[in-house]
Amino acid sequence: MIAYHISPLNPQQHLLQVSVCFNNKNNELTEIYLPNWTAGSYMIRDFCRHIVSIRAFCDEKAVLLQQTHKNRWTLPPMAGHFCVEYVVYAFDLSVRGAFFDDERLFFDGAAVLMGLAGRENEPCELSFRLPNNAQGLMALPCENGTFKAENYATLLDAPFVANLSASLKRLSFTACNIPHEIILTGEYEYLDEQRLTDDIQKICTQHIELFGKAPFSQYTFILHIADNAYGGLEHKNSSSLIADARCLPNMRYPNNRDDYIVLLGLFSHEYFHAWNIKSIKPAVFEVYDLQQEVYTPQLWAYEGITSYYDDLALVKSGTISMAEYLTLLLKNIDKVYQHSGRLVQSVAQSSFEAWSKYYKQNENSPNAVASYYQKGALVALCLDLTIRHATHNQHSLDDVMRLLFNNFLQGNGLTQDDDWQKAAEKVSGSLLNDFFQKYVYGTDDLPLAALLHHVGLALRFQAGSQVALSDEFPPETHRLNFGAKFDDTPSGKVIKYIAHNSLAETAGLFVGDIVLALNHHNAKNWDNAWQQIAANDTVTIHFFRQNRLKQTQFVADAHYQQCPVMKVVDKEKVRQWLRGE
């Protein structure tokens, strides 16, 4: 048994004392390490940088601890009872780190708990010394305040949470006879508890019924409330979520529908991962190597397909309307098509290069990087509609998901990168090599309009300033697209992104330039001033570059902003698709 113990030290200093104790029966060298990343978040995070101090003992006597790498240490080759004690700085209020203050304690195991090289399959236990008689929670069996895990990976896959200033808010419900719980931490007011539990219950039921079986016997959502925060991380039978209080259903101020839908989508997304990545997974994720990057071109299937189903489950479960769902779909189409990165990097490339590009974006990333989340969701939509059309609505992507999950239950995991294609071809009864080569491994624009037409929707891109869903296409508004994004600062509008082949690029502007004036008018009112510019007008811009005042002049060619617009042509076909018929 490998025993872990955590003692919060000082909330003002955000320090946790961690110990890991174990027996060595032989005179062998022992290596201990802290992971460099956490499963589900594909970026090297160097959690070891938060270790403040570390020491080791054998049979209560201090022994030499030799650091051999940024995150690894070795213990002397001797038999006895070892304890390694270290102090961790915990002030990362996210779902993938560790956080400790006077109100709450939370951590993802990879950020805090060291592993023993070669002994990862041994049973583990974790105990705590919490202040003020606070109680902590993990999605693990607990005996007398000690949490039990069958091995190190299971221990890491169960985040810990405790409210230190008050009792944990716990909302319970069942979905398909399986107990579920929502744990809330942070500050919020007037929470409509019944509405939240009712809606999440419907979403969970929808997902379970899609697959026919759940890969867990109970499930826990941990929801942190924090200012201007958003994110989630999946685990085997739990998930960690973080969101702003404005996203919660509010009994006194109910007019936050759009924010609440975003929160429901977050719940739905992380829950779906219990099947798609925690069960159905690439072979390289069967045993995570959390010390180095693990590459796969399949993240589009796990994150993109999950991003497709997270919103789809909302409408299928009745928590949002058909119009609300189609608006969400349009917004995602707009996000993907705003940037030329979709034509440069395939979703398979984006998946493989997540470590170096997607999670480390810079000012040029929209021109060079595709999102395996957002574009991946559109690939999933097109694959679903392609299968439906090929089988006359007898089969769909749902059948692919069920096939792969049933294979997982029978011990047959994914071993090759083309297993997704093979499963889709088996369900559709047709070859899909052309689809996968163009849209998964290639950068062709997706056949959205043609495929949506089969389910009663008309989609087109037209000159306009916003996405629109209506019974008729709105009139085009020929507003010039400057092709830059700004940050507002006291000095002026700082350019943070310039699209390739845009008017901003034609003007000779660079990222970092501080725009002061547009046609001799204060640039702080940029939107109003830019709306006055017509095609073929001569435009003058004054700006600072490296603290030097500069001027540029150019002719505004007809670069019109293109936005997706959609109208419902056949409501019954749309309903059939959204009901899965």
Residue type for 374, please? Q
Helix boundaries (H) for 391-525 = 397-409, 419-428, 433-435, 448-453, 503-506
Gyration radius from the chain CA atoms = 26
Is the pLDDT reported for residue 7 higher than 70?
Answer: yes
Domains of the chain: 2-131+147-158 (2.60.40.3650), 169-272 (1.10.390.10), 283-453 (1.10.390.10), 484-559 (2.30.42.10)
Of 303, 291, 238, 265, which Cα lies nearest the Cα of 106? 238
Confidence category of residue 581, pLDDT binned at 50, 70, 90 = low
Across the range 466-473, mean pLDDT stands at: 81
Calculate what percentage of the chain has a pLDDT beyond 70: 100
- Per-residue pLDDT of 216-246, as tens digits, reads 999 999 999 999 999 999 999 999 999 999 9
pTM over 0.75: yes
Measure the CA–CA gap between 311 and 207, rounded to whole angstroms. Answer: 11
- Whether residue 301 contacts residue 376, with contact meaning beta carbons closer than 8 Å, is answered with yes
Which DSSP letter does residue 167 get?
P
Instruction: Report the distance separating Cα 519 and Cα 83, nearest Å.
Output: 70
Q: What is the pLDDT of residue 562?
A: 85
pLDDT digits (tens, 9 = 90+) for 484-538: 999 998 888 999 999 999 999 999 999 999 999 999 999 988 988 898 899 999 9
Q: Which helix (H) or strand (E) holds 49?
A: none
Tell me what pLDDT residue 465 has: 67
Q: What Cα–Cα distance (Å) separates residue 189 from each residue in 61, 247, 249, 251, 503?
A: 51, 12, 10, 9, 46
**Which range is least confidently modeled, 243-247, 261-265, 475-479?**
475-479
Query: What is the predicted pLDDT for the residue at 479?
Result: 81
Res. 471 pLDDT band, cuts 50 70 90? confident
